[in-house]
């Protein structure tokens, strides 16, 4: 039987992606022009994470 992994190790990256996405959504909804960059970066994080994971999977 494989050793049990800590919850932080299993759910750390998905929680970070969720928090950054939420920050991007909030910045897009409630911010003005200065927060547009924060919104773009926050909303691009899940897309970048999926592209990174697909690239690693093909190797």
Q: Tell me if 27 sits within 8 A of 41, measured CB to CB.
A: no
Query: In which domain, by residue range, is 17 found?
Result: 13-58
Instruction: Establish if 26 belongs to a structural domain.
Output: yes
Instruction: Establish if 24 belongs to a structural domain.
Output: yes
Res 59 pLDDT > 60? yes
Per-residue buried b or exposed e for 8-45, using 16+ beta carbons within 10 Å of the residue's own CB: eeeeeeeeebeebbebbeebeeeeeeebeebbeebbeb
Per DSSP, the three-state class of 4 is coil
Instruction: Establish if 35 belongs to a structural domain.
Output: yes
Instruction: Establish if 36 belongs to a structural domain.
Output: yes
pLDDT score of 1: 47
Instruction: Establish if 6 belongs to a structural domain.
Output: no
pTM of the model: 0.76
Condensed to tens digits (0 to 9), the pLDDT of residues 19-39 reads 999 999 999 999 888 889 889
Q: How would you class 55 by CB atoms within 10 Å of its CB: exposed for 0-12, middle for 13-18, buried for 19 or more?
A: exposed
| Total domains present in the chain | 1
């Amino acid at each position: 039987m494989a050793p049990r992994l800590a919850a932080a190790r299993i759910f750390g990256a998905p929680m970070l992606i969720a928090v950054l996405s939420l920050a991007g959504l909030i910045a897009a909804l409630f911010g003005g022009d200065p927060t547009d960059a924060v919104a773009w970066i926050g909303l691009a994080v899940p897309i970048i994470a999926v592209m990174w994971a697909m690239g690693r999977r093909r190797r």
